[in-house]
A and B are shown apart, each in its own frame.
Chain A
Amino acid sequence: MESKEMLLPLPYIIDGIKHSGQMIEIPEDCITCGADECKNASDTIRVCRKGFDFVKTEIGTILFGFVVMDGASNSRAKQKRIKKDRSCTINKKHLLHLLKTISKVNGTFIAEIESIAQEEKKRVLSKVSSMKPGKMMTIEQEKQQFSFIHDYRQINAQLIQNMNVYLQRHYKESDIDNVPDEYFKALYYGIKLLEAKLDATSILLNRERLYVVQNRVYQNFHGIVKKICKIYKPYSDNKNIEVVFDGENHKQIQADPIALPIIPHTFIDNAIKYSPDNERIVVSFCDNSDYLLFKVCSLGPKIENDERKAIFEFSKRGTNAEKIASGSGLGLYLCNLVAKEHLFTRINFNQTESHISNFYSTVFSIEIPYSRAV
């Protein structure tokens, strides 16, 4: 009989068979381990003699082969393990989040993901297509329905490539910022903005991508944000908004190159969109030992108390935000999705009164772990 498989970030045992996780593979020592203490796991997190933590989830699946850095037990074997290999480490916060998420599903993670994706796609479809209500489509059919996105991407690729050829031939330049023609620059960054929007659509349609560990690469986050600010420059200039950078970020972040930029894109896009004219937006970075603290501070409309959760939901917008500018209500939803499902963190925000009535000093922030489980 074939063993069931799950999309879990940590190594796991199901039907007595060990599987690698999406983020942490089965450690060599666990493959050769004869004791198999983990097979007798309970719902208490325990440490095996090899220094790995293991625990049984509510649905019976056992998680093993990882080390909780800030866990209760601090055995010598565990300390040795941490010293030897940090790639199998995870924070307690992340483990508890994972256990909570697993307990919510009766089946497999993939089933959960597909059903959520199905629901959301159904909603999108009912808005943008002529699909009859009640007619259920398979994910494959839905992807087919949205295959025009691929054509848009192809057109966009042609635009970017031809612009690059023009850049090289006429300006003998590789760097767009050295081009004196502001219209050419605006055109270039306009195409880049379109690319970002198509990337966001990709995540919406291929949500499973967030769980694929192979697509994670190290990225210079500071550089990404700088580029994003250039993309939005025509918009900030139009409102005479000054965007300033604060702090440092030298450590790279391991993440999907399509998913990660969604967060700064949304933060900056929203900040410019909802800020009054002639104001300032502060984009700040702060490197910590395990994570980068990224913040965007600007003036914005009040987010009412009863809307604080809803603004992260699909297609939901704050009532005061709706009065200022149009939008799809997808930005923060996608941000939250990437933060929770891909980076194992969350988006925070807070607001305080400002010098302009009806506008609040708004800070959206996120603690982004530098690499996978740590």
Chain B
Amino acid sequence: MCMFFQKTEWKSIDMVQIVKRSRILIIDDEPFPYVELLKGDGYNIDYWNGNIERIDSLENGYYDLILLDFHGVGTKISEKQGFGILEYVKNKNPVQLVIAMSNKDWGLEYQSFIDLADSKISKTSDYIDFKRAIDILLEKRFSKEYYIELIMSQSTIMQKAEIEKYFLKSLKSKKPAEKLLQKLDPVTIEVVLRITNNALTIYNIINTFSGGR
């Protein structure tokens, strides 16, 4: 078929491939025995022992998912420890998916930080529950809807269908569609640029894997 008429399509890939293709970071100052189990199940895991080793990789979307503990984490760079790290990451890259790992005992003063996380899980959860929580967010990371919903949350005037149209155009042209950016106020443009760039990265990964567009 002529390439010109070919429709831009966001292909779906199965969970096995998602697991294979994604990078997960775990930040915890305590031993985290599930690391070995996750690795054994095919997940690509980096584990930082409470210290923030490379701050840039928390900002630039290098990791598809971050599992972040709160107490005793990132003490060298944030007084608020993991709560401060979560706030920083979400500020810099709102697309970054984060699971907040906790011992369920945060005070009300930290509630607003905890709410920034995409999911919460107790450190006393069984392995199967951890795995499920990870899989849900990885699936989200590789789905078109996640990015469209994120853009929708930034725009009050555009309808979903319109956003989807411009989103697919952005994927086709490999850069955020001008018309999409024109409809946004200057404050949200930067966020939407990040969202579409993240989406493009994932789109390219999916297409590379599934043999081109």
Contact = CB atoms under 8 A, between A and B. Distances in A.
B210 interface: no
Nearest to B112: A214
Contacts of B2: none
B19 to A, nearest CB: 16
B108 A209 contact: yes
Given A153-B104, A199-B104, A258-B104, A168 B111 contact: no
Contact of A195 (B31, B33, B111, B124): B124
A115 interface: no
Nearest to B131: A174
A168 B37 contact: yes
B56 interface: no
Interface string B17-34: 000000000000011111
B34 A165 contact: yes
B127 A156 contact: no
Nearest to B71: A150
A162 B105 contact: no
A215 to B, nearest CB: 8
B123 interface: yes
A214 B115 CA distance: 7
A220 interface: no
Interface residues of A, number: 29
B27 to A, nearest CB: 15
Centre residue among A154, A156, A215, A258 by max chain B CB count within 10 A: A154
Contacts of A167: 127
Contacts of A199: 104
Interface of A is mostly: helix
B9 interface: no
A160 B128 CA distance: 12
A238 interface: no
A257 to B, nearest CB: 8
A177 to B, nearest CB: 12
Contacts, number: 69
Interface residues of B, number: 24
A101 interface: no
Nearest to A214: B115
B111 to A, nearest CB: 6
B115 A202 contact: no
A162 B36 CA distance: 11
B153 interface: no
Contact of A153 (B32, B37, B103): B103
Given A164-B126, A165-B37, A195-B124, A157 B103 contact: yes
Given A153-B103, A154-B103, A168-B37, A214 B124 contact: no
A103 interface: no
A174 B127 contact: yes
Interface string A276-300: 0000000000000000000000000
Nearest to A151: B103
B47 to A, nearest CB: 13
A143 interface: yes
Nearest to B36: A165
B186 interface: no
Contacts of B30: 154, 157-158
A212 B111 contact: yes
Interface in A135-177: 143, 149-150, 153-154, 156-158, 160-162, 164-165, 167-168, 174-176
B128 A206 contact: no
Contact of B107 (A143, A168, A215): A143
A25 interface: no
Interface string B163-178: 0000000000000000
Interface string B28-52: 0011111011001000000000000
A168 B127 CA distance: 9
A313 interface: no
Contact of B33 (A153, A161, A175, A215): A161
Given A161-B32, A164-B33, A214-B111, A156 B105 contact: no
A277 to B, nearest CB: 32
Given A143-B107, A149-B105, A153-B105, A158 B128 contact: no
B124 A160 contact: yes
B104 A212 contact: no
A180 B40 CA distance: 24
A175 B126 CA distance: 10
A5 interface: no
Contact of B127 (A143, A164, A195, A209): A164
Interface string B182-202: 000000000000000000000
A120 interface: no
A143 B110 CA distance: 14
Contacts of B128: 174-175
A161 B115 contact: no
B126 to A, nearest CB: 5
Smallest CB-CB A-B distances: 3 pairs: A157-B123, A153-B103, A164-B127
Given A153-B103, A202-B105, A209-B108, 10 more contacts: A149-B105, A153-B124, A154-B71, A154-B123, A157-B123, A160-B126, A161-B32, A164-B34, A195-B124, A208-B107
10 contacts: A150-B103, A153-B124, A158-B30, A162-B33, A164-B34, A164-B37, A164-B127, A174-B126, A205-B105, A214-B111
